Structure 1
């Protein structure tokens, strides 16, 4: 199948790109507000779903601040849905030419009712830690999709039509894949640690039964390996004439990992103050986005940034090194 010519592809306007960024921000934001619900023990502030109480869609004065916090987080789902619908509508006229953006937009939109239903199941099960963890993991998947959407929204028509090789060399590609896997493992084990800790979302909610110290020690293993892999990757990209876009993405991931690790250690030794736990949840979202950005930049044949002749020349130099 031949690649489309740049002349037949429409340019993506600022509105589409703005909604792509808004999609990423909104998906990160809903994780943070969901964390606030759990950390304030407001997870059952609305004890029913989809209603808040058996007789009311909204919170009632008798439910106090916990009801307000939980219902407020539910309301933000409509903001996320509005952004997702706006993204789909913004790309509608060019959906045939930019099927990549359209499919990603639809996937993000479809994730919202799926997340809402999963959120309802967490309420029905009294905040079962495994269901709560699954709710968080789906959010991470949506953040990955939103990160790819942002990257692809910044492609020029020539870049969409291009058939350049990936920026990462054959030597570097397995290492970038390892960075993605180790980032995912760090987040997944972090979910298990959270499920064993004190912040259950409600004072009567169950925990997963694991020893918190043991799972915390297991959690740091992929983190250590992630740091080591980052050091090796940075050495390789600076030792050789690698594309600047790949170097920048690795530097961004390195900064996020170091900050996230510092917050993680601090919250552990300070016995999990809710502010630091909330920042750690934000950090997990940013880590997921940064890792997805690195993998996309290294493996994709279409990366925003340098264009036209400069991009083709860089691809040719990369092919020679291979």
Structure 2
């Protein structure tokens, strides 16, 4: 470990711009891999590579095969390759956080969040392998998606961690407001889980022969939509709390963006259902879910203050302190 630390110490200290760019890249890649995964599903390419970690027995790459169309092979294989991009970005986040830690030993929380990125990539690779080896059973696909949602949330926390301190969080909301914020996150979790059941019973299973969840899709869609209504009601209650107690401009901006994204996602979901779940709208809906997560996580971060960042510059240099207020 000491040898690794000495190698990391030779790296240039990451500027604030680099820190932010890496964290934004983590958000984009963690959310983007979910979108490309939906493309695999709606094109029926989930078993284009029927084995794991190889594409075919004895080959890491697609090969000509009478039972598997070349296009579906390459769609699935391309999604697997994107995992490598996610892994590279995750590794760069760790290196940046580690380099910062060497100059600022108090930044352990930042390093833990950074390490969550490659750990998530490994976990997703294992879950993805399980998904393929079980023939794309709907609940394995659901776990695969839900793991991505957690990683998107953590990537947003990482972005904010680069630009804030490590003090005990001081909430900008009263106790009742914090309860509403926790309820908002719980409602979002419910919406996402319910959405996976709708997908599990829907027409896009990733492969024509994949068993589907045997439940009325109308009922599942109603539950999914009802939980979104709960999310919006809690969001409205949070807004009334902000009006009574006051809020920073940043918090109000995050709140407004959360409303816009959530309403757009709800409208898209309703359109998707009314049109019979066309393939293109499925991927846009997955993208929308990632944006709702990003907006909600950003609202969460704006609701508390961890003090100014102490790692904007190397130890001994004049720091350019910046913190969201």
Report the TM range for the smaller structure's normalisation.
0.7 to 0.9
Residue in structure 2 matched with residue 224 of structure 1 by the alignment:
229
Residue in structure 1 matched with residue 97 of structure 2 by the alignment:
91
Whole-angstrom distance in 1 between the partners of 2:89 and 2:323:
36
Residue in structure 1 matched with residue 45 of structure 2 by the alignment:
42
Over residues 110-155 of structure 1, what are the superposed CA-to-partner deviations in whole Å (9 max), with x where a residue is unaligned? 1111101110111110001001100101111111110100111122
Residue in structure 1 matched with residue 85 of structure 2 by the alignment:
79
Superposition CA RMSD, Å: 2.1
8 Å contact 2:272–2:278 — kept in the other structure?
Answer: yes
| TM-score normalised by the chain length of structure 2 | 0.86
CA shift in 2, pair 1:163/1:141, >3 Å? closer
CA shift for structure 1 position 303 = 8.1
1:16 paired with 2:16, answer: no
| Equivalent residue runs for 1:139-178 within 5 Å | 139-155=148-164, 160=165, 165-178=170-183
Aligned counterpart in structure 1 of residue 111 of structure 2, from 102, 124, 129: 102
CA shift in 2, pair 1:238/1:290, >3 Å? same
| TM-score normalised by the chain length of structure 1 | 0.86
Whole-angstrom distance in 1 between the partners of 2:168 and 2:119:
30
CA shift for structure 1 position 292 = 1.8
Whole-angstrom distance in 1 between the partners of 2:211 and 2:231:
31
CA shift for structure 1 position 165 = 2.3
Whole-angstrom distance in 2 between the partners of 1:302 and 1:21:
21
Over residues 158-200 of structure 1, what are the superposed CA-to-partner deviations in whole Å (9 max), with x where a residue is unaligned? xx16557211122311111111111110011001110010000
Residue in structure 2 matched with residue 118 of structure 1 by the alignment:
127
Paired residues, what number? 296
CA shift for structure 1 position 309 = 11
8 Å contact 1:238–1:247 — kept in the other structure?
Answer: no
The structure whose residues are more often helix, as a share, is: 1
